[in-house]
Amino acid sequence: MASGPAMDLSSFTDLMTCILGVLVLIILLTGIDASQITVLVATPKEMQGDDKSPVFFECRKNQLFHISVEELKAACDAKTQELQERVGGDETEFLKQAAQTMLELNGQKLDYTYALMGKYVLLPVPDAEGYKFESQSKETADMWYGSRLANIDPATQFICFLVRPDSYRVFQRARNMAWIRNINVACELQDEKNPIMIGPGGERMFMQ
């Protein structure tokens, strides 16, 4: 029985081998370990799948900014008490002044009106200076980033890095140091100026 001409697959095999080699090279050069980093999509459930609570760091201007939910809540509570004492129980005046109030905390501008509704909406303060984390080998437990890592419990917490376009280098250094301490890491890429929204329990929220 006659058969058709044999198909030469050598060129296809060579192509696939080259593609595989390029992928391996990319992984080696970037140092990305897929088992240690999770790239988050815009759903809060993705962030809390292992029941660990997030500790937020924004990477901006190639610097680190710690976003503490506890400090945000304390600042809002203090402002609420201040406004209530100022208006003497006048709810209309309270709401009027609340609508005109913005707070600044750790390089972030906080919309106080949203905070009253249980949403922390943060905008970057353009001139704010964060922590210039330049050397992983020199960062000790009593320094800014090192001390914050020391306070993280790897069993119950993970770090979520909110990374602006100009700050991938500082993210890499901070991520690597967290890995050394067996802290799980997630990252979420941000536009240059878009706000960050966090719920009262520390969950990420997203603009609809």
Q: Is residue 89 part of a domain?
A: yes
**Measuring CA to CA, how many Å separate 112 from each of 51, 143, 199, 201?**
29, 31, 13, 17
pTM for this one? 0.74
Q: Is residue 1 part of a domain?
A: no
Q: Is residue 118 part of a domain?
A: yes
Query: DSSP state, 206?
Result: -
Q: Is residue 28 part of a domain?
A: no
Q: Which pLDDT score is estimated for 2?
A: 47
Q: Is residue 9 part of a domain?
A: no
* Rounded Cα–Cα distance for residues 7 and 9 (Å): 6
Q: Is residue 74 part of a domain?
A: yes
Q: Is residue 29 part of a domain?
A: no
Question: Total structural domains in the chain?
Answer: 1
Q: Which pLDDT score is estimated for 154?
A: 96
Range of the domain at 74: 35-205
Tell me the pLDDT of the chain (208 aa) as tens digits. 444 445 454 554 555 555 655 554 554 445 544 444 444 433 333 444 468 999 999 999 999 999 999 999 999 999 999 999 999 989 999 999 999 999 999 999 999 999 998 899 999 999 999 999 988 889 999 999 999 999 999 999 999 999 999 999 999 999 999 999 999 999 999 998 889 999 888 888 775 5
Q: Is residue 43 part of a domain?
A: yes
Look up residue 113 and give its two tokens. 């009106």
